Structure formats: structure tokens, C-alpha cells
Amino acid sequence: MNVKIKVVLASSSQGLVKSQLANRQKALAPGTEITIVAPDKCPPSTEGEVDEVLAAPQILLEVAKAKKEGFDAVTIDCTLDPGLKAAKKVSSIPVVGAGEAALSIALLLGERFSIIMPTSESISPMISKVRQMGLWERLASVRSINVHVLDLEDHTRIISAVNREARIAIDRDGADVIVLGCTVMGPIADELSSHLGVPVIEPGTAAIKLAETLVLTKWSSPGR
């Protein structure tokens, strides 16, 4: 069965569309196609509460028209999942947030997880998300590397910074799973996991794989 997934960035950056596409395509099942869109009225990147509020309406518009465009599912490619609850209300096809997908998978792979966010500004909204999902007791920590989203594509620099914070999360905070707190960090996941010796979850791919599953199994509850 062919599966068409619309991947909606919480960013207006066309540069991210190009760079994210190659990484996402590596994980696709045979027959799955993705299209990545960056709504032009979104912030350049979504890193805090204000960005979330600005990005959510644009994401909602993209989700609302996805079925008519021929897509079978939508993913919101941001770990803060801006507009996710509303997006599920307006869609009759599965909508999966990268944050909810990554955190859900973390529960299957260990007892306690830590999340490595790009900036300190993004820590508070992620903590709120963990609480909303009822996962507070499984959270070891939320840490940041103090690098803005649009600067995360320097993979050599980023893997060193994430590795440092993740090692503290494991040794000091008691984490046995690491969740990358931004989808742009995706390309470093495998290398980071080999360095750390624990599972490292890449949220953008997690969302796509769950979206594939929901389409193929038809487990998603019907929307409008």
C-alpha cells in the first residue's frame, strides 16, 4: 500500500525543507512518500511559547487541507507540537506530532528519559508538554545546548554539545533513553546513540513511522 504523508514544519525556512527531506527519506518504508512544507507565515523557527502561538494557525491551515491534497496522514515536524490538539479536531486523517511520537516511543525503550532541547527558552514548553501527556514520573530531565534551531545543521558542533548534555542526563539524572528535542537534530541520532550506549530517539522520524502505522493499521479514530 502506498502512503502519502504531509510533513509540516513549524518554520518558514525553505532551507530546512531541503535539508530535512534527505534525512526523513532514509527512514521511509517502501511505498511511503513524504512532502515537506514550511508555511511562509510561520516564525523562522519555533523555540518558545510565543513562537508556538504564531506557528499554530499556519500549521492548522496546512493540516485542514491535507486530505483534499491527497495525503493519508500529516506530521507536525516540531517537538513542541504547536496546534496539535486543534489539528486533530479538524482532520479526518491521522495527525501525529513529533514531540508526542518521540515521548511515546521513549516509554517503550526505557524507564526514564531525558530530552535535549536546542535553547533554554524551549525547556519550559517542553516540560508543560510532558506534564500534559502524564509522563512527569518518567522524566529524568530536560536540558538544552543553547543553540538556536537554524544553527543546528553544523552537525560536528552539535553532536559534541548534545553528547555532553546527554551524558550528564544519563550519569547524573538517571536517564536510560535520550529524546532529541528538535527535529533538525535528526542526522546525529545514530552516531550519538553509539557514543552514549542508550537509545536516542529522533522525533521527526518517530512521527513519520507512527503515521505510517496508523494509516496501514487504520487504528486512527475517525475525525470529521
pLDDT in tens, 127-147: 999 999 999 999 999 999 998
pLDDT in tens, 87-110: 999 999 999 999 999 999 999 999
Could you tell me if 45 and 130 lie in one domain? no
Q: What is the mean pLDDT of residues 31-42?
A: 96
In angstroms, the CA 81 to CA 129 distance is 9
Residue 224 has pLDDT above 80, yes or no: no
**Domain of residue 177, residue span:** 100-203
pLDDT in tens, 64-91: 999 999 999 999 999 999 999 999 999 9
Note the helical H segments in 65-149: 84-90, 98-109, 123-132
Residue 222 lies in a domain: no
Question: CA angle, 57 as apex, 181 and 219 as ends, to 5°?
Answer: 65
Element (DSSP H or E) covering residue 62: helix 49-64
Residue 156 has pLDDT above 50, yes or no: yes
**Number of domains the chain is built from:** 2
Could you tell me if 8 and 56 lie in one domain? yes
Could you tell me if 24 and 47 lie in one domain? yes
